Amino acid sequence: MPAINIEDLSEKDKLKMEVEQLRKEVKLERQPVSKCSEEIKNYIEERSGEDPLVKGVPEDKNPFKEKGGCIIA
């Protein structure tokens, strides 16, 4: 889809685009931020035990562990 330069549109076209966007937005289901943030926090806390970024990766299961060292003679 090509980019639209807003400055090149007439005032009527700008208003049509705005009305179209508002029609899309009015159909969205909205929830309070306080409820959503609590759900996100609970989701993260429930899964933090399995998260390798929090818990770490065991050495025997780490695919990026160096296999051997480099010896300079």
Query: With bands split at pLDDT 50, 70 and 90, how would you rate the model's confidence at 19?
Result: very high
Q: What is the pLDDT of residues 25-69, one digit of tens each?
A: 999 999 999 999 999 999 999 998 888 888 888 888 888 877 777
Whether the per-residue pLDDT at 71 is higher than 90: the answer is no
Whether the per-residue pLDDT at 1 is higher than 70: the answer is no
Domain positions in the chain are 6-61
Question: Cα 14 from chain centroid?
Answer: 29
Fold (CATH) for 6-61: G Protein Gi Gamma 2 (4.10.260)
Dmax (CA) of the chain: 77
Give percent helix, percent strand, percent coil of the chain, each to the nearest 5.
60, 0, 40
DSSP type of residue 65: S
